[in-house]
Amino acid sequence: MRLSNETLGRVPATVAHPAYDRAGVKRGVVHLGIGAFHRAHQAAYFEAALAAGDLRWGITSVSLRSAGVRDQLAPQDCLYALVVRDGDARTTAIVGAEQAVLVAPEDPQAVIDALAHPDARIVTLTITEKGYKLDRATGTLLSDDPDVAADCASLAAPRTAPGFLAAGLAARRAAGLGPLTVISCDNLPHNGKLLRDAVLAVARANDPALADWIANEVAFPASMIDRIVPATTPEDIAALAADLGVEDRAMVKTEPFTQWVVEDTFVTERPDFSALGVQLTKSVAPWEDAKLRLLNGAHSGIAYLGALAGDDFVHQFVATPAGRGFVEALWDEAQTTLNSPDGLDIAAYRVDLMGRFANSALQHRTRQIAMDGSQKLPQRLLATIAGRRAAGQSADALALAVAAWMRWQSGQTDVGERFTVDDPAAAHLGALSAGAADAAERVDALLGFFGFAADADLRQTIVAHLDVLEQDGARAAVSPYG
């Protein structure tokens, strides 16, 4: 029996569930890219707004690719459980904020209509780094991407997130409706500006007057988002079914920690964000840098080193003195490149972060984090290294994390197990890696992919790490930090 409006009464009374009138909820939010993170983060904030009696903030969610999440949620009247795990402790709440899930390739017009609905005010996005369709070196649209080309030629049936936003905003403009506030919730620096650039480029290719209207009317605040949300597994679903008495195939699991820092440039109504714990600020950049370089930088290092060495989960890697030592060393290096935001105590943040990584109940897979390294390394590791080198500082642990990413491109773990590199640039990176005669050539080729110019000392450090990784494995490479 599945979770639904009808079976909600069977759920144990200890599990919180929507006490507001779901039928009276308006759809003030459109979310593009409904994955696990959205359900554990933005949806939880909008759920809190609804629970506080502000019924404007129901969500129409959109999957831009597969029907998977729609097929999980639709038979459940869009109800799902948010399970917060902290060691042995579990808290479960049923979330009712999702009102409908649209699958864009099945019905692109329905997505445009949702964006152009008079009740819509806020759009949030979690489409992964690669969904922005931008050449990160130049900030321009990926002109050789067929979906980008199609959206630049016509907005009748968009294919990309920037295309849908341009089409939805065009429909709002034509209907005389107001603008939207569009919030990127992906782990990218200056995510608001990146999204704005992408939407304006697609709009301009179709209709320069639309682009001007968007530039003048629509807000794209930057945001820093933080909550560790590992992919749900069949075991998680089975364990929850035993607790709930009904099956929930759309559940998500997460940690107690949650943070959302948003640039205060809204052009629309919004929930009482401050009351919901959302931090509104003039400048998100220092928050972004701290999170991307400390949390995500360490995560990527842990992911490649851990997965190469056979650690399936993040908590296993930080359970060893060498693993913890490596993470602390990486933070010592990264920290000197930060302008600490007001209100962030970096020393305390680091202690908390190590506790979050050590949360064994999350079962956060190193291979999940290892995905899409080509999209993640610049902001997580390379910018940090560049900052250290510009200040005349060394970057040993950061260089080891980059070398581990390079080793990952070989598609083989330290015990020779083959795996598929999950990355939009995997074929190109694999060819660069395989085509190099030795570690030094591989370092040059793979840094060249990013257009990253390493000075002689830094290059030597990365080559030395890659040599150890290739000959003795990741455990040996990390052991000096123990």
Give the nearer residue to ligand NAI in terms of CB position, either 161 or 468. 161
Binding flags for ligand CS2, 340-379, as an x/- string (CB under 6 A): ----------------------------xx------x---
What is the DSSP-derived secondary structure letter of residue 295?
A: I
Residue 83 CA to residue 16 CA, distance in Å, equals 11
- Contact residues toward ligand NAI (CB under 6 A) are 33-38, 63-65, 126-131, 161, 186-187, 225, 227-229
Stretch that binds ligand CS2, among 21-29, 112-120, 220-228, 447-455 (CB under 6 A): 220-228
Print the binding letters for residues 145-184 with ligand CS2: x by CB under 6 A, - otherwise: ----------------------------------------
Instruction: Say how far apart CA 379 and CA 288 lie, in whole Å.
Output: 10
CA distances from 192 to 203, 263, 360, 466 (A): 16, 9, 33, 35
CB of 391 to ligand NAI, least distance (A): 28
Rounded to a whole number of angstroms, the minimum distance from the CB of residue 368 to ligand NAI is: 8
Q: Min. distance of Cβ 382 from ligand CS2 in angstroms?
A: 15
- Least CB distance from residue 203 to ligand CS2, whole Å? 29
Choose between 178 and 355: whose C-beta lies nearer to ligand NAI: 355
Query: How far is the C-alpha of 161 from the C-alpha of 16, rounded, in Å?
Result: 34
Residue nearest to ligand NAI (CB): 35
**43, 120, 200, 228: residue in contact with ligand CS2 (rule CB under 6 A):** 228
Beta strands in 126-216 (DSSP E): 134-135, 140-141, 181-184
Beta carbons within 10 angstroms of residue 179's beta carbon: 17
Q: Under a CB-based contact definition with an 8 Å cutoff, are residues 162 and 151 in contact? A: yes
Where does this chain touch ligand CS2 (CB under 6 A) — which range of 225-233, 271-279, 280-288, 452-460?
225-233
Compute the C-alpha angle 43/46/47, nearest 5°: 80
Member of 232, 296, 410, 461 binding ligand CS2 (CB under 6 A): 296
Choices 17-25, 222-230, 420-428, 468-476; region in contact with ligand CS2 by CB under 6 A: 222-230
Least distance CB 216 / ligand NAI (angstroms): 27
By the rule CB under 6 A, 253 interacts with ligand CS2: no
Binder to ligand CS2 among 7, 187, 254, 409 (CB under 6 A)? 187
- CB-count burial class (<10 Å; 0-12, 13-18, 19+) for 460: middle
CB-based contacts of 121, cutoff 8 Å, min separation 6: 28, 29, 56, 180, 181, 268, 269, 270
C-beta separation of 81 from 93 below 8 A: yes
E-assigned strand segments in 245-368: 252-254, 259-263, 279-281
- Cβ 146 to ligand NAI shortest distance, Å: 12
The residues that touch ligand CS2, with contacts defined as CB under 6 A, are: 187, 226-228, 295-296, 299, 368-369, 376
